[in-house]
Amino acid sequence: MARAPPAQKRRERPEAFVIGAAHTRFGEAWESSFRDLMTEAGLAAIQDAGIAGEDIDAVFVGTMSTGKLLGQAHTAPLLLEGAGLADRHLPATRVEAAGASGGLAFRQAVQLIRSGSADVVVVGGVEKMTDVSDADAQALAASGIDQEWEHFFGATDAALHAILAKRHMAEFGTTREHLAHVAVKNHKHGAGNPLAQFRKAIELDTVLRSPVIADPLTMFDAAPLCDGAACVVLASDKVAGGYRKDAVRVAGSGQGSDTLALHSRSTLTALRATEHAASRAYREAGVSAADVQVAEVNDAYTIGEILAIEDLGLVKKGEGGPATQQGRTGFGSACVVNPSGGLKARGHPAGATGIAQVCEVVWQLRGKADGRQVKDPRIGLAHNTGGTGATAVVHVLEAAE
């Protein structure tokens, strides 16, 4: 060592608990600015947690588009301003990783609590994506893939996901219908979620006959970019129980990465970033995939959910399609996948998605997901990816006893 250890007493490593969770209705919020949405979710989460403004030590915000679409970078201090807390001058940090921005912001909050520097941390995700031109929306989606080596040459987010789907079909016999069953299941689930953008069950034919956006994917294989905000309150073990008796423990946190460009990866039939993130999260939590009873996973495209349930170990590699068709990821199965409706039916305001996933898992673990409650779950999982999977974040959450 370069120097002697510091003189002050070393502290124990704290644990993080979720004590508050809320999100706005997702969809087209023409009459709300992104600040309005962020403030609505933030105040609701603070109320749900039962904390006062002066209890908060720091805030994080996950957002992808505010700088590019709204001309507003430097977004994090606005969460405090909206909550009337600007005069406390608290640390406020924005995190960005395309569609994984929310999950990644959540992870930073967990790390801050584990570092011992904070006891109560508020973390939000927000996006206002509908009130823009189609060209801007497309450019935004493309900014999560590789600009220099993919988008510059004409590739789009949808086209690259179609490549992932085609390779999975070629290698494992996954069919067009398997993909469609993901959308059918998630729309069915979304019908039970009052905060979802789409609350209507659909038929298999609706997916198969909708316009092709990138063969083999049709419009109903893709989640809608939309407006919305989500917010959760995290607390250290030292203070969590003082606020809520049903605080949900963050048992494991994992994060993985990969090349932005698909052509540089070692495989197209698995997302290595997800595998790495899951492995770390399971190890920290001391659980395996078989213990997970409810999972919110990233289905920005239907092939995304098939890859996710395989790479998370919820089903064997190559069996994601048949498992979905057979109902092994729906209500009544060992692990219910996307009971909220997922990105597909809840809607996908990029940076808000990762936080909304945590909200749903928390509500499920509290036993308060009215109309869509999974039966007595103890272990839940949230899985958030960005672009075509260059960033993946996995959290394992555990219900209070």
Residues 117-156 that bind its own copies (CB under 8 A): 117, 139-140, 142-148, 151
Taking the alpha carbons of 314, 319, 323, 324 in that order, is the dihedral positive or negative?
positive
For the CB of residue 50, give the shortest distance to its own copies in the complex, in Å. Answer: 13
| From 108, 174, 186, 193, residue interacting with its own copies (rule: CB under 8 A) | 108
93 touching its own copies, by CB under 8 A: yes
Residues between 271 and 290 that touch its own copies (CB under 8 A): 272-273, 275-276, 286
Contact call for residue 54 and its own copies (CB under 8 A):
no
In whole angstroms, give the CA distance from residue 59 to residue 121: 6
List of residues 6+ apart from 170 with CB closer than 8 A? none
Q: Does 246 bind its own copies (CB under 8 A)?
A: yes
Cα distance between residue 384 and residue 103, in whole Å: 6
Neighbours of 391 (CB within 10 A): 25
Q: Rule CB under 8 A: is residue 95 a binding residue for its own copies? A: yes
Helices 302-311, 272-285: inter-axial angle, 10-degree rounding = 50
CB 196 within 8 A of CB 346: yes
Taking the least distance from each CB to its own copies, the nearer of 111 and 333 is 111
Window of 21-29, 170-178, 249-257, 329-337 that interacts with its own copies by CB under 8 A: 249-257
Q: Is 2 in the site for its own copies (CB under 8 A)?
A: yes
Does the protein bind its own copies through residue 270 (CB under 8 A)? Answer: no
CB of 343 to its own copies, least distance (A): 17
Q: In this chain, which of 30, 31, 52, 71 binds its own copies, going by CB under 8 A?
A: 71
* Nearest partner of 61 among 38, 40, 32, 84, judged by Cα: 38
Q: Where are the beta strands (DSSP E) in 314-372?
A: 336-337
Looking at residues 72 to 91 of the shown chain, list those that interact with its own copies (rule: CB under 8 A). 72-78, 80-81, 86-87, 89-91
Q: Is 194 in the site for its own copies (CB under 8 A)?
A: no
Smallest distance, its own copies to C-beta of residue 273, A = 6
Instruction: Quote the tokens at residue 331.
Output: 């209500």
Q: Please give the residues from 280 up to 339 whose contact with its own copies meets the rule CB under 8 A.
A: 286
Measured in residues, the chain has a length of: 401
Name the CA dihedral angle for 302, 307, 309, 314, rounded to a multiple of 10 degrees.
150
Cβ distance to its own copies smaller for residue 28 or 237: 237
Where in 355-384 is the site for its own copies (CB under 8 A)?
none
- One-letter amino acid for residue 195 of the chain: L
